[in-house]
Amino acid sequence: MLTTRFVDGAPNWIDVGSPDIDGAASFYGALFGWRFRSAGPDAGGYGFFQLEGEGKTVAGGVQTGPGQGPAAWTVYFQSEDARATAKAAEEAHGRVLFQPTDVMGQGHMAVLADRAGVPFGIWQPGRTKGVELAGEPGSLRWVELYTPDIAAAAAFYRRVLGLETSAPFPGGTYTCFNPDGAGDDAMFGGMVPLADDPTEAEAGPYWLPYFEVEDTDAVVEQARRLGGTVRVPATTVEGVGRTARLADPYGARFAVIRSEPPRG
């Protein structure tokens, strides 16, 4: 379960890069009740999405320029030493896309890529520990890696982030992640073979964030009205919840879920 009791290897931050951050803020504000707050003139256009009413930061966002790639969400994982994690990624045949750097004393960040070229971030906490809300409506609930090689990805993230993997569904290919030694209760995400999903196979490997919502179908219709794309319509997954995969008006992919209450 994803919470704000962050441990090494678990997601602790997420942000979206968009060619129109004001347009993205309008979209996510109407969809999730987020309000965008600039981090100030020295932050290069970076800012924070805060949940209205709660006032808690649930994500970040930044304006991207030409040549900086398509609009996308980036998932960040906690590291006690960003430089050591970046070195481990290179040694595991990944890449460092953005070298570890101090972020105004708030922490150290880096952007890496795994063996399949999938970007992900590292956040070494300083004054900012991570997002202030997770697992609740309007916040990050789950992350999913679409990858061409489950075994290679499992080995990479084990070496770089210390993640353990398990297969919760007998006979299936879905593989779950949890931090080292934390057990099944700390599962925060999963892996899906790219070849098993035609929608994602065409788009290529990536990390997909899921945001908790109170009504999946209503959010899907709202996203469509706001100019977003419904990539996979609302679907009920027994024992998990009702999910849908979407993209914002600029192409950043994400998913929503109304989680099924735990049995018992």
> For residue range 91-136, what is the model confidence (pLDDT) as tens digits?
999 999 999 999 999 999 999 999 999 999 999 999 999 999 999 9
Give the pLDDT score at 263. Answer: 59
Burial per residue of 11-38, b for 16 or more beta-carbon CB atoms within 10 angstroms, e otherwise: bbbbbbbbbebeebbbbbeebbbbebee
Structural domains of the chain sorted by starting position, each given as residue range(s) with its CATH number in brackets? 11-125 (3.10.180.10), 140-259 (3.10.180.10)
Q: pLDDT tens across 37-48, in order?
A: 998 888 888 999
Residue 177: phi and psi, rounded to 5, are: -110, 145
Say how far apart CA 31 and CA 92 lie, in whole Å: 39
Say how far apart CA 263 and CA 62 lie, in whole Å: 39
Question: In terms of pLDDT, which residue wins out, 181 or 154?
Answer: 154
Average of pLDDT values for 44-61? Answer: 93
Contacts 24+ apart (CB under 8 A), 155-158: 155/92, 156/89, 156/92, 156/93, 156/94, 156/114, 156/115, 157/114
Q: Which of 250, 208, 203, 245 is nearest to 26 (CA)?
A: 250
Give the pLDDT score at 264. Answer: 47
Question: In terms of pLDDT, which residue wins out, 182 or 78?
Answer: 78
Q: Which of 135, 157, 133 is nearest to 53 (CA)?
A: 133
Write down the residue that tokens 């309008």 correspond to.
Answer: 26
Q: Which amino acid is present at 224?
A: R
Where does the pLDDT of residue 262 fall: very low under 50, low under 70, confident under 90, or very high at 90 and above? low
Say how far apart CA 147 and CA 153 lie, in whole Å: 7
Average of pLDDT values for 185-203? Answer: 91
Give the pLDDT score at 39. Answer: 87
Give the pLDDT score at 169. Answer: 72
Say how far apart CA 144 and CA 243 lie, in whole Å: 13
- With a pLDDT cut of 70, the percent of the chain lying above it is 98
Question: In terms of pLDDT, which residue wins out, 170 or 185?
Answer: 185
Q: Which amino acid is present at 8?
A: D
